[in-house]
Amino acid sequence: MEWKIMLKQLQVKNNFVFNAVKTFKLLKGDENKIKVLFPSDSAKVEFDKISGEFFNHFRRKVQNHLIEVEYERDVENLKIEVVTKRKIFEKFIEKNPLLKDLDDLMKFDLT
C-alpha cells in the first residue's frame, strides 16, 4: 500500500523517475526482508535516488527497523518494444475500423 502511495506522489513530483520505477515489484521475503525486482540497471539508478527516503518512511510506518532490502534483476519484466506511428495507428484501426477508410481516403504519412 505504501508503495502505491509513493508512486502516486512520485507521478506528480518527478514523472521521469516515476516512469523508471513504476514497473518495479516489491515482494516480502520473510519478516525482515523485502526483495525488489527491477527491470534494468538504468531504472535501478533512478530508484536509488528515492529508495532511501522510501525505505526510511516504510521502516517507521511498520515500526521495524531491521528490514533488509535485496535487489534482483527481473528479466521477465523487461519488455522492449519499438512502437512506430504505423503500429499505433493500426491499434486504433482495431478499435475503430472507420479509420482505415479515412486512411485510404486521406493517404496519411505514418512513417
Q: Which domains does the chain show, CATH number per domain?
A: 2-75 (3.30.300), 81-110 (no CATH)
Q: What is the mean pLDDT of residues 8-13?
A: 88
With 70 as the cut, is the pLDDT of residue 82 above it? no
Rounded Cα distance between 94 and 44, Å, is: 36
For residue 6, give the 3-state DSSP assignment: helix
Rounded Cα distance between 90 and 94, Å, is: 6
Residue 27 is inside which H or E element, if any? strand 25-28
Helix, strand and coil content of the chain, in percent to the nearest 5, comes to 55, 15, 30
Could you read off the pLDDT of 43-70 as tens digits, one per residue? 888 888 888 888 888 888 888 888 899 9
Question: For the whole model, what pTM was predicted?
Answer: 0.59
